[in-house]
Structure 1
Amino acid sequence: MTEETVLEARQSLVRLWPAEIPLNAALDWPIMSADGAVLFDAGAVVPDVAARDFMFQHFEPHRAVQEPARAVSQDADVSGDQPLSLDDIGLTIGARVGLRGTGGTGSAMYASRVIGFSTPRRNGERSLFVTQPLMTGFDPLDLNVGEQVDLVALTGRGVFRFACTVDAICREPFNYAVLSAPGAIRRLRTRKFARMPTRLAAHFSAHGSTDVPELGRVSDISPYGMSLTVAKPAARIGDKLALSFQFSTDGVDVKIDTIAIVRHVGAPEPGTGHVAYGLEFEALEPSQRIALKSFMAEHS
């Protein structure tokens, strides 16, 4: 096993105190939680004392300070898990998969469907046939022969992540791709999608308003909704909120901007007046729902 030395630039997070955060003025630097999630981007505004107090009550605000690059030893990743095969996944024709290319698409995950499998080879491996990956609001993802793609599959047996190589691109009778047999299949967790306790930052505003989005705390989440604690409750049951939040799954940052419907308004918390909204996502892109399920599977 070979070992190589690389330079790694690290960001150190430094704890902030309330007096260090200006109010009603554009921030010169982003404010982050202890795990690196962005609470307020650079240029955003913390509007008042109530918003600042809410942030400190529900999160641990930090700012990033760049450290000098340092030499680190990088070794091959070794997993003790038993190798999994395509048969172990339980993937079927018509199953939805999330697919991320390695071209100029960044970390975006597109939605695709399995439309077939090749005849098993002598070693049991089978190629995968999938529709051209799509994401609403974006052009279809153009794949290139020889390109490696990352996939997430959600089946009745769990959530799986694996890589394939694009073996062929077909245009007739419709656009689809032939992928190599999956390699390095990993089971993330047993499939479990009840609401999962979490602590994520989210920004929200009344749908259609031009107000500056407020900061809220996600205390639990599911593929269909979340509980969002807010500092100054103003929404009523049936109202719609423009909602933005982000998370990381398998080292990939995913940002979701969506509309949520207020289905429940909780009682004010004693002492703070903070209220928890029960929200239902009006619609999530298939690729976003896949990424969210992947995140939940990793942390459940």
Structure 2
Amino acid sequence: MSQANAASEGPALVRLDPADVPLSMPLDWPIVAADGALLFDTGTVIPDEAARQFLFQQFEPHRPADHAGGGPTPGDGTRDDLLTLEHMGLNIGARVGMRGTGTSGSSMYASRVIGFSHARRNGERSLFLTQPQMQGHGPIDLSRGEQVELVALTGKGVFRFMCTVDATSREPFSYVVLSAPGAIRRLRTRKFARMPTRLAARFSPEGDGAEQLARVGDRLQLSFHFNTDGTDVQVDTIAIVRHVGEIEAATGTAAYGLEFEALEPSQRIALKSFMAEHS
């Protein structure tokens, strides 16, 4: 781990190396620039090596020296060590992301909750999930007794927890039985979800503007396409530029932070599904 910067003003920061920043899993701490400006909030997912390389090419990533965990989180005030299924609001049909910790590797697979066992004397209930899948890959290879990490997005927040694989079955269809969730942690979330990703898109300034680079506050006509849960989704909408990254001298391009102005309900659901698949 890198050494902490000795700054006379502002909070002490620890400079990060690429190896310090995990991929495909929520961050346990925020990433800030050398001047303390927020780059990625706690819970943000860096999806792949290309995104991590871009982060270190454009900025000098740090984390607060005294920020060992996720910090205060919104919710009902329940301590993380007391959170249960009821606190998460995890219902049948909810989409979850699953990552194995053994032979199944570290990629995040998409799954859905299809049921719960009857509550035991201690109130715990097992989870029944569809066979976790990832587009372009075969089914995840799970072993009985293996620990898996899950991330769930519900109406009460974003939660990360661990389970043990109790059983796998292929009859009458492929599904997985997991132990009651353990070590449930509520991740801090933003009013508007953000997720770094790489998608081909067409955009142009709304109106008669013809500048190559957009500015903060500009409204763009944006079109892009993605696939989630086996469904092709086309989005044509207006996006507001909320952040503009540093311009690359070699290409003259910059990274934009965009907020969608309006989406159809079906598009919002599809985007949440896409985020869960890639979280």
TM-score (norm 1): 0.48
Q: Which residue of 2 aligns with 1:251?
A: none
Secondary structure of the residue aligned to 2:134 is coil
Q: Confirm or deny: 8 A CA contact 1:262 1:278 kept in the other structure.
A: no
Task: Name the Cα RMSD after superposition.
Answer: 4.8
2:91 corresponds to 1:102: no
Give the gaps of 5 or more residues in structure 1.
1-9, 15-28, 47-54, 63-79, 208-230, 243-258, 293-300
Q: How is 1:173-252 mapped onto 2 (pairs within 5 angstroms)?
A: 173-189=172-188, 192-194=190-192, 232-233=212-213, 237-238=221-222
The amino acid of 2:213's aligned partner reads P
2:68 equivalent in structure 1? none
* In 1, Cα distance between equivalents of 2:240 and 2:190: 26
Q: Deviations over 1:132-172 (max 9, x none)?
A: 10111211212111110011122222221111100011111
**Which residue of the partner structure matches residue 83 of structure 1?**
82
2:273 to 270, 286, 298: 286
Aligned length: 191
Query: Percent of counterpart pairs with the same letter?
Result: 49
Structure 2 CA distance for aligned equivalents of residues 184 and 277 of structure 1: 33
For 2:255 and 2:179, how far apart are their aligned partners in 1? 50
Structure 2 residue aligned with 1:146? 145
Contact (CA 8 Å) 1:168, 1:179: kept in 2 or not? yes
Gaps of 5+ in 2: 6-17, 22-32, 40-50, 63-78, 203-210, 215-219, 227-233
Distance of 2:109 and 2:225 partners within structure 1? 25
SS of alignment partner, residue 83 of structure 2: coil
Deviation at 1:288, TM superposition (A): 3.5
Counterpart secondary structure, 1:237? strand
Q: Which has the higher strand share?
A: 1
1:161 matched residue in structure 2? 160
Amino acid at match of 1:134: Q
Shift in Å, 1:100 = 0.7
Paired residue secondary structure (2:221): coil
Name the CA distance, whole Å, in 1 between partners of 2:133 and 2:120. 30
Corresponding residue for residue 54 of structure 2: 39
Question: Residues 113 and 131 of structure 1 are in contact (CA less than 8 Å); yes or no, is this contact kept in structure 2?
Answer: yes
Residue 133 of structure 1 is matched in structure 2 by 132
Whether the 8 Å contact between 2:199 and 2:224 is mirrored in structure 1 is: no
Q: 1:265 to 1:130 in 2, by over 3 A?
A: closer
Give a deviation string over 1:183-236, Cα, whole Å, max 9, x none. 1111223x654256x9x7x778777xxxxxxxxxxxxxxxxxxxxxxx9539x7
The CA deviation at 1:13 is: 10
